[in-house]
Amino acid sequence: MSHADLVKLTAVEAVDLLKKRKVSPLEMIDAAAARIAEVDKTVNALPTLCLDRAREQAKRLESQPGDKDYAGYLAGLPIAVKDLNPVKGVLTTYGSPIYKDYVPDHSDHMVEMLDRRGAVTIAKSNTPEFGAGANTFNEVLGTTVNPWDTRKSCAGSSGGAAVALATGQVWLATGSDLGGSLRSPASFCGIVGMRPSPGRVAHGPSLMPFANLSVDGPMARTVADTALFLDAMAGQHPRDPISLAEPATSFSAAVANPGKLSRVAFSADLNGITPVDPEVREIVTKAARLFESLGATVEEACPDLKESQETFQILRASQFAASKAPLLEKHRDLLKPEVIWNIEKGQKLTAEEIGKAERWRGELFYRTAKFFESYDVLVCPTTIVPPYPVEQRYVAEVDGHKFDNYIEWVLVCSAFTLTSCPAISVPCGFTKDGLPVGMQIVGKPRGEAAMLQAAKLFEDAAGLSTRLPIDPIVKA
């Protein structure tokens, strides 16, 4: 197969060919490298390549015995790793001038797991500084733009990963998600991005190994590819105190037999706690009705999330202060304003405020768990706006509502971060200007398998998964 044909394969198709040895990991690396050279100069998704390291790893995989599972889950498939995750021997900047020359002597736990399961890292994907902000730009590696319209933002913080997938540079890419950092870019770029339950994917090493607001997760072009990647990521790690054991049934097997849905809850604005752009509201509302064609009842319903904005803002700020206060003390002049603001906000919090937020989070979880006793999944928009101009640092106003800070506009995602429920963004339509819109599907606590099944049913009904990869659409 030609390089052009290989990059158009789904990850599932590519892994099948790799396991049958009809194509080699080295051929897949060459195909990805050719595609990166062709398109990344336009979008800047993968600014750091490690092709020599990848080829050495591929040669080791190819030297293994010839059984069909010779390289584990992914059989030598090239992937991109977000620049927030250390990869041994590869430049890892965290999008920050503080780390512009940092080459770690270790990989993080997730990367270790993927290495053992046949993934071959070929690049680091771009991210905003320390993943802060839903627009992918930084002072070290520049700005990543949206391939559907290069004048637009790809969101963030896993923007480089989403763009690399949409343009066919890799078949799978890792993302991470605190308040929507994985889901928002998926929506803006027309790909699939999944936030798993805390502990599902091993995380660390970290200054805060027990923290569970931020998680790593899979990004791909299809739901089946996402399930395959989650299978390769998931599992217990001895140095992650909250990591979970692998499920008895693989996520891929669950997606292959999606079954039927009974009751689907839908809310365009989470009971009015967030504004939503009218066009996004219309597209997602129409898409949600597709579940009726699948035999499910779709009802306007949502758990009570009223304290989620304040709760998230407090807990996020507390986490920033705990993890990054030393950087503020030593390198204030090198940090972007949003990061400084978030650290200082956390430092000003009182124990009473943090305790209140923790209590609110507990109440929010119990209300949500009770809600899911009646519904299979909840669907809502992934983002409240379509892709916005790339020069705009963040969304400041929607439908007449002005936001107080750079992260407030992602509440449609961050509210569910607080619940620890898994959530996935799947493409559900396009604006009149041809920009992608994603629908968020939220599952029950630790209900990744059922959520992925619902996503697969919707994906098949919507018929949008064949539109990728695309060549970047350059507009002046």
Rg of the chain in Å (alpha carbons): 21
Q: Which two tokens stand for residue 172?
A: 């799978």
Q: CB burial class (10 A; 0-12, 13-18, 19+) of residue 73?
A: buried
Report which DSSP code applies to 441: E
Q: What are phi and psi of 234, to 5 degrees?
A: -75, 150
| Sole residue written with tokens 């992608």 | 436
Helices 223-233, 109-116: inter-axial angle, 10-degree rounding: 100
Rounded Cα distance, 307 and 449, in Å: 28
Query: 423 phi and psi, to 5 degrees?
Result: -150, 145
Beta-bridge partners for 195: 423
Round to whole Å and give the CA distance between 174 and 215.
11
Bridge partners of 1? none
* Under 8 Å between Cβ of 440 and 177: no
Helix axis angle, 25-43 to 51-62, nearest 10°? 160
**φ, ψ at 249 (rounded to 5°):** -110, 135
Closest listed residue to residue 395, CA positions, set 376, 411, 417, 381: 411
Residue 199: count other Cβ atoms within 10 Å of its Cβ.
20
Is-contact 169 39, C-beta < 8 A? yes
Active site residues: 82, 157, 181
Contact 232, 72 (CB under 8 A): yes
Q: Are 141 and 96 in contact (CB under 8 A)?
A: no
CB 451 within 8 A of CB 441: yes
Which conformational region is residue 448 in: left (phi greater than 0), alpha (psi within -120 to 50 degrees), or beta?
Answer: alpha
Q: Which helix (H) or strand (E) holds 205?
A: none
Which tokens go with 468?
A: 């990728």
